[in-house]
Structure 1
């Protein structure tokens, strides 16, 4: 199994943060900064977030794929999930710890054909791969924000992306696409900026987080906060191995359980024991099942490329997600939408069950918005939108080109 090979190759202590930092190789990232702290630039306007705080010198890291048409009519916005980033396509390499998270979907001749479309993928506000987040230097003293970084919402992320679109000269996105947390951004784009969205594709997501979804997030946050090396969010000067890697790993392990289905875990691991040789035929309290070792590996692995505070901030934004907040009710919020929608669900998704994608379609249809639903039939659970690309490649390509709905 590839993850076992990866385990064998991971020997270095987990760094205090896996965040990209200024001075690191940018790879294919580009950067846009707005809300300057210099009062002579743009009037010194601050960027206000929903929690009431304001930010200055906000940077959004992003990558682009393809070429923008002279009239900007071929621009596609791609929104990433919780621990994703701007590197949606392309190999791992200098500046990019992993290959593009949707590499099979983006490129010449692929479903999102970059000979036809100009794709923009920004790292979200609050992220840790080049955009302003808790690990970024605070404009006042140059030290990481840490505990000073405010609570943000999905809407704050979208407002920052709107500033990026202005900068790129894109008045209207041909289509906005995203899965999981990316789908939350997609929905908010359609509601907040209906005149700037030509079509949208929310995948494996919801209009508002449910109590169970919030519960999963709360367990992960508590696990991370109980790590004494988290230090209340101010751990950035810690030596490798002395940061909140254990808390982040446990939080990720909890989430990893929700990303896959019971059948996949059973088929892949069953009840196999991983450490029989150490305990012989005796039972040991810390004797591991194979599934435990798998979860432990993925939890530890995240610490090499992600930041614990970003994990907390972004997870909280997902729990706060509710398109009806401040808009009276769901019907009132969704009635703002003007663009056609292709909603995509996953048959085995336990985190964002398929009924939530069907609800999106039904709600839009009830207010007169063209909407269609497509379902990925897969045993892989929530992660199927990153795995079973063949099942929605054609519907997505048809929607992009012809606004064809199932």
Structure 2
């Protein structure tokens, strides 16, 4: 039984009053680990240093390739076609690298706890907890939506919470260590295009390096005054960087081609990296497998999925109310934009709430007794005690 790919978003219940009480946008209080720039217009993953390392690993050898190896080859052949083709491929590699990193992978919006239950803040009781699973029906097939206690939402099918970015992502595939961000529904096609052009660029670099070394040694071999050792020493001094490019391109080609082939198989089967690693469909075929042609069409050539929410959206009253005191305190100190300070303040508040909850339990013991203190400490984890 096939499940439609249209089941990717869920309309969550909303409270009556959605007007913002203060003019602050979502990115200013977003607790995910991804970085947001230009007042919410641009976002990328939490590991920007890995993105820069990947950019350097691609472009520094490419600069040597174009400036020296390709230049000498084109001067020898008196034709610069190969140079321009290589440059175009390199531009496409960088284009899809940054699209993978900066396009929102499908991050789902967080909701206040009581709003995820379809209630108002005043009507929620302390023991009112959401169900861990929500069963839904799609035609003849039923499926479960898992509740995320961090984002306070029931995740759509195939969505997952990324521990690296601290976000729930639509059709989460994996967290890419090369790009330093999550790969999901909205940027997976750019990730595949990136792998495709790197797979083309690597053997191109390998062939160019070998060809440059061959023509260099051939030119010195024409000199009758040089013996074999002289030809080797003279030739190597002129093209040693091409040897480094050959070694670089060989390992790059091996690992990237292996990764690209792995994703080709995943797309053909209609499964994600996470589903494959978890062996989700090892006993039964994936219900999302619609055949080879439709799988490739849905992954790479379907309409671009709209963004779940904008970081520039204003916060509603329900979204900001529970953080209002912390928010005002940081704003008065001019530390609103320092997310680390805000998160530390949130953590301290959580630890304080845990202690208050424990201390207000129905204990018929005196608050100053040693037994009461021991009960409180046993209820906390070792991490909570260390943070206190």
Normalized per residue, which structure has more strand?
1
- Who wins on radius of gyration, i.e. which is larger? 2
TM-score (norm 1): 0.22
Of Structure 1 and Structure 2, which has the larger fraction of its residues in helix?
A: 2
Instruction: Give the TM-score, by structure 2 length.
Output: 0.23
